[in-house]
Amino acid sequence: MIDGKKTMLSGMQSTGMITLGNYLGALKNWVTLSDDEDINCFYGIMDLHSITVRQDPANLRKSARNLLMLYIAAGLDPVKNCIFYQSHVPAHPELAWILNCYTYMGEMNRMTQFKDKAAKHSDNINTGLFTYPVLMAADILLYQADLVPVGKDQMQHLEITRDIANRFNGIYGDVFTIPEGYVGKSGAKIMSLQDPTKKMSKSDENPNASISLLDDKDTIMRKFKKAVTDSEGVIAYRDDKPGIKNLLDIYCCCTGKTVDEALAEFNGLGYGQLKECVGEAVVNELAPIQQRFKELSEDKAYVDGIIKTNAEKASYYANKTLRKVKKKVGFTELPR
């Protein structure tokens, strides 16, 4: 809670271009949720998280700015919502350090994202990658977030955040709000177009596996044309047909139709026609976002202003919690 209002916080790593999975699983829900006047919303460009994997400095800077512009282009009002860079608020790594001392090795060892990333980057299993969820806990707890809208893959990190917060509150009293995860009704796990048993991920080596938010129309249509399906030839929404199920999920997320409505629409049609309709639905969904992104890219002063104002706003709230935590732990305040 902040100023008597519920608080929502979420964010994305600023690594490369975000995918249709990030958009449908998270960003699109944020836009809907932040329409509510009674919720304070914070959305982070989580650039500190990005360096757990090696980044080219120029690319990291560009990805972070692109991500901020995509948040706004997708419909997040940067005045109502506090959209900020994580690295502009030093309270994040400061609280993360403190929380590291209240988190156990065994808990971090269980994190599936750590195991996956450690396997993928076996030459660089750094301690930042290991304690990544603690930094995420700090992101959430600093703003006393009640609600954290994420895709399914982040729910384990949310659980550990709750555990850390409960442990800390158990020792020091009610310091942190215990956050709830929020996974949208649809789009919670968009799968790879090339292997629909795996989630769509921007780090996939096969460029046909994911749709980037800035892909042009031809690229989107081509990727859907190549999407892996099955040999049954019947459009049905079933777990044993993950490729078709994923296409229907994407279609429903982009059009707002229910699965039953989509199935009625595609009744008797072939996979080729389904792929074309899904591709078109995605193109239509992304076109206005891409247009607004282009306009924002041409307005440096406006974007810079938002970055500056929101860094100050985020710092104000984050520092309030951090001061409280430091006092509880027993650190000495700087004499006035």
Any idea which residues carry the catalytic annotation?
117, 199, 202
Piece in contact with ligand TYM (CB under 6 A), picked from 187-195, 222-230, 278-286, 311-319: 187-195
Min dist CB 332 to ligand TYM, Å, is 30
Question: Is residue 181 a contact point for ligand TYM (CB under 6 A)?
Answer: no
For ligand TYM, which is the closer residue by CB, 32 or 273?
Answer: 32
Nearest to 67 by CA among 54, 80, 49: 49
Nearest to 139 by CA among 14, 327, 314: 314
> Helices (DSSP H) in 34-90: which residue ranges?
47-50, 57-73
CB contact burial 21-41 (16+ within 10 A = b; e otherwise)? bbbbbbbbbbeebbeeeebbb
| Residue from 150, 235, 247, 278 binding ligand TYM (CB under 6 A) | 150
Piece in contact with ligand TYM (CB under 6 A), picked from 4-12, 61-69, 220-228, 317-325: 4-12
Nearest to 12 by CA among 213, 294, 250, 208: 213
Tell me the Cα Rg of the chain.
Answer: 21
| Residue from 49, 117, 162, 241 binding ligand TYM (CB under 6 A) | 49
Considering only residues 61-120, where is the footprint of ligand TYM by CB under 6 A? none
Min dist CB 196 to ligand TYM, Å, is 11
A 10 A CB-CB count for 264 gives: 10
Nearest to 250 by CA among 199, 175, 320: 199
Site string for ligand TYM, 278-307 (x = CB under 6 A): ------------------------------
Query: How many helices, marked H, and strands, marked E, lie in the chain?
Result: 14, 5
Question: Is residue 200 a contact point for ligand TYM (CB under 6 A)?
Answer: yes
Backbone torsions φ then ψ of 198, nearest 5 degrees: -115, 150
| Residue from 7, 11, 67, 91 binding ligand TYM (CB under 6 A) | 11
Q: Taking CB positions, which residue lies at the least distance from ligand TYM?
A: 25
Question: Is residue 28 a contact point for ligand TYM (CB under 6 A)?
Answer: no
Question: Is residue 199 a contact point for ligand TYM (CB under 6 A)?
Answer: yes
Beta-carbon contacts of 335 under 8 Å, excluding residues fewer than 6 positions away, are none
Instruction: Measure the CA–CA gap between 29 and 21, rounded to whole angstroms.
Output: 12
Min dist CB 183 to ligand TYM, Å, is 8
Min dist CB 91 to ligand TYM, Å, is 14
Beta-carbon contacts of 230 under 8 Å, excluding residues fewer than 6 positions away, are 241, 243, 244
- Residue 167, classified by CB atoms within 10 Å of its CB into exposed (0-12), middle (13-18) or buried (19+), is middle
Min dist CB 16 to ligand TYM, Å, is 10
Question: Is residue 12 a contact point for ligand TYM (CB under 6 A)?
Answer: yes
Piece in contact with ligand TYM (CB under 6 A), picked from 101-109, 150-158, 222-230, 269-277: 150-158
For ligand TYM, which is the closer residue by CB, 148 or 248?
Answer: 148
Instruction: Measure the CA–CA gap between 43 and 85, rounded to whole angstroms.
Output: 9
Site string for ligand TYM, 109-148 (x = CB under 6 A): ---------------------------x--xx-------x
Binding interface with ligand TYM (CB under 6 A): 9-13, 21-22, 25-26, 46, 49, 136, 139-140, 148, 150-151, 153-154, 157, 187-190, 199-200
